[in-house]
Chains A and B, each alone.
Chain A
Amino acid sequence: MKGVSIMLLNKIAETRETLEEYRQLDIELRQVQKVSTFSQLAKTELNKIKSILASFHALNQMDPETFQKKKLSYELNKLVTLMNSGIKSYNIEEVYGFSKLFRGLDDDLRIRWSSFVLNKNKDIIGLLKNLQNIVTNPQEIKQLIADLQTFEKKWPVNSITLKRYHDYLNHANKVISEMDVSENVQDFITKVAANQATLDDLTDEVITWIRSKQLTNKLVIKFR
């Protein structure tokens, strides 16, 4: 065309060019967003696996017998497949599928860890509960019991968690040993706790222990 209708035609050409440029950019953005979304979702999912495996590893380190190593070759193969294809195609479903493989392991470890802690806590917490009525620092004992009980539900775990649990256990044992309680005294304390102690139970050994621990004003006598 000979220099006519230039204005609108130019505008059309210019707009078209802009639209095409925009389209390219938009495609690029979408691609980047896709990768980003995938990465975030994958990371979240992989973190869960990492956490399970980290718990497993810590427990195994702590108690290789209770928390024995397992056969994981299948999971390993899947991992290799995921690395070779799933990641490249940004297929989050494959990541979810891989993650699913560890749910059983997670449940198993959690239950075993929970029963492991319950078992450990059972005697110590019972003794500590009896003692807290007669000691001068019951609040401290109560806190200790609560702290120990926390680990019954704690999941997942890692080496630091495990170390902290052991520290609490050690501290409880130390408290009990400092009270210097013989077996007879322990029976007495148990009966007192159950409101079943009588004068007959105040043996010399018991009276001596009470005096030595300056617990006399902690005791009262009443009729049933």
Chain B
Amino acid sequence: MDINQYKQKLSDVFQINAITVDLDYFLLTHKPFKNIRMSSKGLFLNGEQIFHENELYKTIMDNRDKHQFHVVKGDNGSGKSHLIRWIKENYERDAKNEAVIFISRMQSTLKGALQQIIHSEVIQNHETANRLKKLIDANEHLDDKHLKNVILAHFMIAVKEDDDSHNVKLRPNKRKNLQEFLSSQETSELLLREDGPIDRIQKKLASDVKNEVMNDVDPHFVPEDFYITSALAQELKKTDVSTRALKIINEIQESTQEDVQEEVEEFRELLATYLNQFLDKVVQECLHLRGTDLKDIFTLLRQELKKESKNLTLFIEDITSFTGVDKDLVEVLITDHKENESLCRLISIVGITNGYYKTSLPGNIKDRITSHIEIDNVVIQDPDECAELAGRYINAVFLEHKQIQEWKNSGYTLDEFPVATTFKQHHWANFKIVDQGLELSIFPFTKAALWNFYSNLDVQTPRNFLQSVLLQYIQKYVVDGPKGEFPPEIDKVIADFKRVPNWKNPTTDRVLKKEVPAHLNDRYQTLFRIWGNGTMDRQFIDGKQVVGGLEEDVFRVFGLSTVRGLEVANTGVTGITPLGGQVKPKPTGENEPRLKPVDEGKRKPPVGGGEPTNPPVEPPIELPVVEVQTIKELDEAYSEIEQWVKGEPLTSTWIFGDILNFIREYIHWDLEGVSTLIVKDFLTNNYVLIEGQTKSVRIKEENALMFKRSDVLRYALEALAQYKFEGTGSWNFAGSQMALLSLHTWIEMEKENILSFLRKPYDYMGESWDMDGYVVAAEFYTTSLMNGFTGDEKNAEDIYLQLVQDKNKNKVQQHSQPWVTMTKFLNLEHTDLFRRYFNELQGSVTRAASASTFFFDAYEMIETIDRLKNLDFKLKIEDIPKGSSSWYTSVNIISSIQAEDRLKKAMNEEIVHSTEVVDKFRSILGDQFTLENVEHTVKEMKRMLDYLKEIMEPYNHSPFDVLYKNGLDYKEIVEKIQSLQDLKVTASAMEQLVALSNNPSLQVLPFYRVLDNFRKLMDEKYLDKKKEMSSIKAELENISGTQLDEVLIDLSTIKDFITELDERSVNHAVK
């Protein structure tokens, strides 16, 4: 077989889409499912059970007369299709009098699914054929190249016609905007783009791309579909895009403001969810197909089969192939023939992804599922299963056509299972499938290599393993093997997989460098780290040399020379289990590798098949052996330690620093319940010493933590010396495992001693030191006195949330003088101490005092708060000695606050003040403070002020502006007043303290001032007006009411004069 033939073979075998795989290869590569999780509520079992595929199959067959609807659940690539195909192959063989329809994923499109129904034998032979016409029409319609535009247009219409009957709603105005967005030329392009939502839906209905498998295409809108950068938004705004579409753009474009961006993301999600509601409708409209059509066809089919005394079984690899009519299809599947006697029995086995199950399968349907067959992480569960799957595929690749034909002719019997022999001679690559008595070659891999590849995959599914590992690396072997370039260099493998196993001991890297030429180093690394066990340990197993878990043939076959490796102390003892390969040493002789170096011309395999050509190898390269040098400083350190253990003093200072560092990093302080802050402060040079060390401590020696002279400590110190001088500050040196073991042993022995030293102060003799309690209590007092509580904190969780907050001392001044005086006893740094004390420090203990990010075990802190709450935060501290170290910071605060009844006095003062405030309110508002009453009063006040404005009665309105600006939270005010009222009768000092913390009387004072000003205003207006009315009345009395009469009299007089002086009177007189 030449390279091209191998490639063709690989293509045939690795057609990952199960349906397109030839039955021969399907059966050759089928690895039985051994641990299928089946859960059911009724029919077969109640609960959950693990089945082998044979047992699963038997269960289905044994219940063949019953209605069954099985859901095969798993992520993409987990093997759903493979299992369904396997059941189907067996079922077709075993089940008699049965109509079977198998709907494979094909291209995983609706078009593909409909075609399969149309062309299925069962349908073609029945009357239902006519009924299929509609489906066929729909099928033809799918070829319309304008389908994408049609889909978009239908979404637009669906939005336009939305009658608010869907769960997710958009306001009419937004609906119109969205409608414009969908129809506007400029914006619709965003949705029609390649891999955009409409493109995906169109592909899922009828992909034009041949052989493109649409398994991973999501035919729904997702929020990311509406992602628009602000730059693109600006571009769009320059176009003729409509105003309404622009509004949508404004709402979905990226923003740099965090709160706006949050809204943007929410709106994108809303749009996606909203539009997805119309997906079924749109698809059905586009295809001129109603969901009920599909339902009718199956109903008719079941009726006809019933008449023929036949039953129907449906195998559907992927429900999403039926996008748009999937829900109607499921309706068909749940209908039990016992509910409708005209129907035949129906068994259906349907592949569903976990995502679809969660989001798209209606709850009522879920209840009617006969069983859930879960196959995630079932196919490959351990290195053996990984090797078995690989072995079957590799075997299929290297089998001769003739062998396959013979097996087919035998009826695919297990006894005749064909085995490729191409690489049989490489025993290390032979893998036994015990339960089938088979031995298959996994050449060119070792079992370790396969498992290392698989376990470092991002997506650990069989499909991904087959594609990314097997297919790719067999191809690489076929292509690069002959050139001596397989396995690839470690960098290339890292480029493929991102993650690969490292050396078990990083210093091995150094050893390898010494042993192999630089240009081969990276390939050796691949061998040792991936094919091997991550070491260069040299062992002799059954008389055969194995380096890093790899026998000599492995190196040879890949054109490399064997390396010397590192001698393991217990040579020949089976203490180290090699991870790589099936190392099965056999006597040399007949199984010696046959591979010999050949020149390029001879490497070409014979044309037209024949015996497979074994990939040739490069001649082995002889490598020099490198001596390891001794280190002077290390020897000196060893010498000093040896003297010390004999009773001499220990003078080297580095030892102590390193041992403390190591202890700090070794012990999981969080798990041991010791704060890293305490570790940082007290696991130091000042408090700890090694017996015989020539240094002093800050405290009396008997109080210090002393590490006793012992052999165990000696080995630990020697290990530290290696760490310092051999590893130059790292554990990268040969034999570091032993060194670490020594150190580990000593620390484990000393651990309890160290922990008990750090659990209470060295000078405290009692047994009830409660550091957690002291720190929490002191912080509680600090928080209370520094206005840290809002007053609403009733439970421990609420209190916890305030304790961890920053405190602001500026507000304290507004409290009463005794309260302010109390705060002088606080330590303003205590909040920092509190946080650091409880910080679950990430990283080095040395950062305990400087870390700027805190991780708290809230549960633990809340438990402490709850405990202290039960004590009303009164801790017994009488027997605690005075101290100034961080052990005592919290205790000192508690002690000062509780002394001389200071706290009580301060609280009493505050309560008196609070009572006065309540009385003030009462004097204005009466006795009952309910929100309803307060709001009514405020409403009346505003009405009154409006009236004053209306009658142009002057007043200073600035004190009342707050009523119109919604500047007062009446609910909060009422609560505060009520809590002020309750204060006097509250028995718990803790509750009083929390309630008083934020100076509740101060909080309500603004409202009181408004009320008081208003009352004064009313008084002023009332009195003023009463007074003015008196003067008006007096004035009215003084104004003569006869003035107008006098005017009339004057006019009358004037009239008399005029009448007399008018010349007519003369005339009259003359006359």
Which residues of chain A are within 8 angstroms of B1058 by Cβ–Cβ distance?
Answer: 53, 72, 75-76, 79
The reply to whether A70 and B1019 form a contact with Cβ atoms under 8 Å apart is no
Q: Does A210 contact B (CB under 8 A)?
A: no
The reply to whether B1026 and A7 form a contact with Cβ atoms under 8 Å apart is no
The reply to whether A57 and B1061 form a contact with Cβ atoms under 8 Å apart is yes
The reply to whether A70 and B1062 form a contact with Cβ atoms under 8 Å apart is yes
The reply to whether A35 and B1043 form a contact with Cβ atoms under 8 Å apart is yes
The reply to whether B944 and A71 form a contact with Cβ atoms under 8 Å apart is no
Partner of B1022, one of A15, A28, A40, A79: A15
Which residues of chain B are within 8 angstroms of A53 by Cβ–Cβ distance?
Answer: 1054, 1057-1058, 1061
Which residues of chain A are within 8 angstroms of B953 by Cβ–Cβ distance?
Answer: 19
Taking the nearest CB of chain A, how far is it from the CB of B396, in angstroms? 88
Q: Does B930 contact A (CB under 8 A)?
A: yes
With A4-B927, A79-B1055 given, is the CB distance from A14 to B1022 under 8 Å? yes
The reply to whether B1036 and A29 form a contact with Cβ atoms under 8 Å apart is yes
Q: Does A21 contact B (CB under 8 A)?
A: yes
Partner of A21, one of B947, B1014, B1029, B1041: B1029
For B1021-1064 the 0/1 string (1 means CB < 8 A from A) is: 11001101100110110011101101110110111011111111
With A5-B937, A18-B1022, A26-B1032 given, is the CB distance from A11 to B1061 under 8 Å? no
Closest chain B residue, CB of each to CB of A29: B1032
Partner of A7, one of B924, B930, B1029, B1046: B924
Partner of A29, one of B1035, B1061, B1064: B1035
Q: Does A153 contact B (CB under 8 A)?
A: no
The reply to whether A8 and B933 form a contact with Cβ atoms under 8 Å apart is no
User: Please, how many residues of chain B have a CB less than 8 angstroms from a CB on the other chain?
Assistant: 57
Which residues of chain A are within 8 angstroms of B1043 by Cβ–Cβ distance?
Answer: 35-36, 39-40, 43
Which residues of chain A are within 8 angstroms of B1055 by Cβ–Cβ distance?
Answer: 76, 79, 83
The reply to whether B940 and A43 form a contact with Cβ atoms under 8 Å apart is no
Q: Does B297 contact A (CB under 8 A)?
A: no
Q: Scan residues 77-126 of chain A and give those whose CB is less than 8 A from a CB of chain B.
A: 79, 82-83, 87
The reply to whether A72 and B1061 form a contact with Cβ atoms under 8 Å apart is yes
Partner of B1061, one of A3, A18, A47, A70: A70
Which residues of chain A are within 8 angstroms of B741 by Cβ–Cβ distance?
Answer: none
Question: How far is it, in angstroms, between the C-alpha of A48 and the C-alpha of B657 when the chains are bound?
Answer: 121
Which residues of chain A are within 8 angstroms of B1054 by Cβ–Cβ distance?
Answer: 46, 49-50, 53, 79
Q: Does A199 contact B (CB under 8 A)?
A: no
Question: How far is it, in angstroms, between the C-alpha of A73 and the C-alpha of B1015 when the chains are bound?
Answer: 67
Q: Scan residues 46-76 of chain A and give those whose CB is less than 8 A from a CB of chain B.
A: 46-47, 49-50, 53-54, 56-57, 60, 68-73, 75-76
Which residues of chain B are within 8 angstroms of A28 by Cβ–Cβ distance?
Answer: 1032, 1036
Q: Does B645 contact A (CB under 8 A)?
A: no
Closest chain A residue, CB of each to CB of B1030: A25
The reply to whether A8 and B1014 form a contact with Cβ atoms under 8 Å apart is yes
The reply to whether B1019 and A69 form a contact with Cβ atoms under 8 Å apart is no
The reply to whether B926 and A25 form a contact with Cβ atoms under 8 Å apart is no
Most buried by A among B936, B1018, B1029, B1062: B1018
Question: How far is it, in angstroms, between the C-alpha of A11 and the C-alpha of B926 when the chains are bound?
Answer: 12
Q: Does B360 contact A (CB under 8 A)?
A: no
The reply to whether A43 and B1046 form a contact with Cβ atoms under 8 Å apart is yes
The reply to whether B1036 and A32 form a contact with Cβ atoms under 8 Å apart is yes
The reply to whether A6 and B944 form a contact with Cβ atoms under 8 Å apart is no
Which residues of chain A are within 8 angstroms of B1057 by Cβ–Cβ distance?
Answer: 50, 53-54, 56-57
The reply to whether A4 and B1047 form a contact with Cβ atoms under 8 Å apart is no
Taking the nearest CB of chain B, how far is it from the CB of A60, in angstroms? 7
Q: Does B1066 contact A (CB under 8 A)?
A: yes
Partner of A60, one of B926, B1014, B1061: B1061
Which residues of chain A are within 8 angstroms of B958 by Cβ–Cβ distance?
Answer: none
Which residues of chain A are within 8 angstroms of B1066 by Cβ–Cβ distance?
Answer: 68-69
The reply to whether B1015 and A8 form a contact with Cβ atoms under 8 Å apart is yes
Taking the nearest CB of chain B, how far is it from the CB of A133, in angstroms? 45
The reply to whether B1059 and A50 form a contact with Cβ atoms under 8 Å apart is no
The reply to whether B923 and A7 form a contact with Cβ atoms under 8 Å apart is yes
The reply to whether B1065 and A69 form a contact with Cβ atoms under 8 Å apart is yes
Q: Does B59 contact A (CB under 8 A)?
A: no
Which residues of chain A are within 8 angstroms of B937 by Cβ–Cβ distance?
Answer: 5, 8-9
The reply to whether A50 and B1048 form a contact with Cβ atoms under 8 Å apart is no
Closest chain A residue, CB of each to CB of B953: A19
13 sample A-B contacts, Cβ–Cβ < 8 Å, listed by A number? A4-B925, A4-B927, A5-B925, A9-B936, A15-B1022, A21-B1029, A22-B1029, A25-B1029, A69-B1066, A70-B1061, A72-B1061, A72-B1063, A76-B1055
- Sample of 16 more A-B contacts, CB < 8 Å, known A40-B1043, A87-B1048: A2-B928, A4-B928, A5-B937, A9-B940, A16-B947, A19-B1025, A25-B1032, A26-B1028, A29-B1036, A32-B1041, A39-B1043, A39-B1044, A69-B1065, A69-B1066, A71-B1062, A87-B1044
Task: Please give me the 6 A-B residue pairs with the lowest Cβ-Cβ distance, nearest first.
Answer: A39-B1043, A53-B1057, A46-B1050, A22-B1025, A72-B1062, A5-B937
